[in-house]
Amino acid sequence: MNDVVIAGIAQTPVGEHWEVSLRSLAVKVMLAAIKDAGGLRPQALYVGNMLGATLSHQAHLGALLADFGGLHLGDGKDQKHPEQRAGIEAETVEAGGASGGAALRQGYMAVASGLVDVAMVVGVEKFTDVVGAEVEAALATVTDGDFEAIQGLTTTAQAAMLARRYMHEFNMPVDGLAGFALTAHANAAGNKNAMFRKAISLEAYHKAEPVSDPLNMFDVAPNADGAAALILTRAELLPKDFSHPLVRIAASANASDTMGLHNRADPLWFAAAQVSVEQALRKAGLQREQVDLFEYHDAYSIHAALSLEAAGFAPAGQGWKLAADGSIGLTGQIPCATLGGSKARGNPGGATGVYQAVEAASQLQGRAGSNQIAGAKIAMIQCLGGPAATAVTHILEKVRN
């Protein structure tokens, strides 16, 4: 198995990109990632996307983005030969909100196996072409269609029921989840790609508009448009003038759990998240104490708390305290959402896992600016499909400066 290294990264800001189409968002970062990789071109493209077919009426994104990204098999110069016009292999990987992480895993496996020399992973989501009830209906397709969505359930309502049960079982105070939003917004102030760049106060959390009791507006990450991309390869294929600190993917793991939240043995335990973290740590030969930062999937504040518990950073029912007492802050014991997380950087749906990889890589490469975790060597990233019906965990490691 080959060692897989990150040759290039790119991202757009997350936001309401009215002027930019889904394909343009993706192509922008695809070309930027190639440039960041010193011109290294991929032989395979893995696209992480969740709602293209529903909100944009656009499926088959692999072929579309390989086409519009100009990813030909040959150098494209001799157009008379079909092999020159044809494009690289390309496909979409879908796992709800974990699509980006699942696509990253495909790219990782392709290079690790030796079957692909250079892989590109792009995460893209275009939320804002549609507004209101249609978006909620599209999001609900990641729940159990026959036994959850048909009841009018929304992904937010699922998280709200988890939060209410969590308060009931563990006596968390009504504002116990506030620390997740406060940390996210404080960190995003230093991230020029973040959607919201102002710190918020506890008072603002208390006054926030309720969304689905007991969750308020600050417990729910804002859905918006964005694209991020990575180029993966083997170290010996890097350009001679490659200048970034070398970062490798030390481990990759994907686990699933029951689709319906009602079918969980314990709805408050993210078993898939636990398993994928344990598998990843084992494959990387690391202890969780060695992790310097954790990019969890905070589409909802309660998911962040449950992810911390499943990852073993806090016992069941205590994950919220790591946010309340500052442990997840940039100078805390386990920095999380270091560039704003989904809450403040913005929630780019199926692209989330790729944003997390780009952010973690930039931390390990020392490119995180005012949010730099000093001496960061090992980053863990995790994205979830639904309330961890899918959980994809990667561990990134700085190899050398």
Partner 1 sequence: MEIARHWRLKQQRYGLVGEVCPHCLAKIFPPRDVCPNCGGEAKTAFAFSGKGEVFSYTTIYEAPAGFDDTAPYTVALVKLEEGPLVTAQLTDLGSQPVEIGMPVEMVTRRLRQDGDERGMLIYGYKFRPRL
Is the Cβ–Cβ distance between 71 and 87 less than 8 Å?
A: yes
Nearest residue to 182 via CA among 208, 204, 200: 200
Beta carbon nearer to partner 1, 218 or 355: 218
Which residue from 29, 88, 139, 306 is in contact with partner 1, where contact means CB under 8 A? 139
State the minimum distance, in angstroms, from the CB of residue 179 to partner 1: 21
Q: Does 152 bind partner 1 (CB under 8 A)?
A: yes
Beta strands 44-48 and 89-93 are parallel
- String of contacts with partner 1 for each residue 323-362, x by CB under 8 A: ----------------------------------------
Instruction: Return the sign of the alpha-carbon dihedral for residues 365, 368, 374, 380.
Output: negative
Which residue from 147, 198, 206, 239 is in contact with partner 1, where contact means CB under 8 A? 147
Cα separation, 207 vs 141, in Å, equals 31
Neighbours of 203 (CB within 10 A): 8
Nearest residue to 393 via CA among 346, 384, 218, 67: 384
CA–CA distance from 114 to each of 39, 73, 74, 108, 230 (Å)?
A: 20, 18, 20, 10, 18
State the minimum distance, in angstroms, from the CB of residue 200 to partner 1: 21
Beta carbon nearer to partner 1, 179 or 387: 387
- String of contacts with partner 1 for each residue 213-252, x by CB under 8 A: xxx-------------------------------------
Q: Does 172 bind partner 1 (CB under 8 A)?
A: no
Q: Could you tell me how many residues of this chain bind partner 1 (CB under 8 A)?
A: 37
Is the Cβ–Cβ distance between 274 and 316 less than 8 Å?
A: no
3-state secondary structure labels for all residues of 370-382: HHCCCCCCEEEEE
Q: Does 133 bind partner 1 (CB under 8 A)?
A: yes
Three-state secondary structure call for residue 267: coil
> Interface with partner 1 by CB under 8 A: which range of 102-110, 138-146, 300-308, 374-382?
138-146
Q: Does 156 bind partner 1 (CB under 8 A)?
A: yes
Which residue from 32, 71, 120, 160 is in contact with partner 1, where contact means CB under 8 A? 160
Nearest residue to 376 via CA among 393, 355, 360: 360
Q: Does 260 bind partner 1 (CB under 8 A)?
A: yes
State the minimum distance, in angstroms, from the CB of residue 165 to partner 1: 4
Q: Does 148 bind partner 1 (CB under 8 A)?
A: yes
CA–CA distance from 299 to each of 24, 181, 265, 317, 320 (Å)?
A: 25, 11, 23, 19, 15
Which positions touch partner 1 (CB under 8 A)? 132-134, 136-137, 139-140, 144, 146-154, 156-157, 160-162, 164-165, 168, 211-215, 258, 260-264, 267
